[in-house]
Amino acid sequence: MSERPTAAELAEAILEFLGGEILPTVTDRRLRFRTLVAMNALSIVYRELEKLPPEDDAAQRALAARIRAGDVPPGALAEVKRDVAERLRIASPRYLETYAEAASE
């Protein structure tokens, strides 16, 4: 399943934040060095993620287009809900716990 921002795009955003907003405020020499090291490590993560092939979202696009046309496949809601729950387990795992129903899924 494709998802924006991609992990690479998120890493890039954090790099920009660290370099643009945090680093200029760090005056302690040791902390400044460690921040640069952390940014370097994050840039490794970024480049590694960037090399990954883009995920195939053809099935998502097809389903989205079908629903837009008013042709909702039977069982679509349950299927989409499973997909969204899957995404939430990455993006915001504790959110699912706020639904009593999801606790047992």
Residues that bind another protein (CB under 8 A): 2-5, 9-10, 13-14, 16-17, 57, 60-61, 63-65, 67-68, 70, 72, 74-78, 80-81, 83-85, 87-88, 90-92, 95-96, 98-99, 101
Q: Let me know how long the chain is.
A: 105
CB of 36 to another protein, least distance (A): 19
CB of 23 to another protein, least distance (A): 15
String of DSSP letters for 11-75: HHHHHHHIIIIIGGG---HHHHHHHHHHHHHHHHHHHHHHTSPPP--HHHHHHHHHHHTT---TT
CB of 42 to another protein, least distance (A): 12
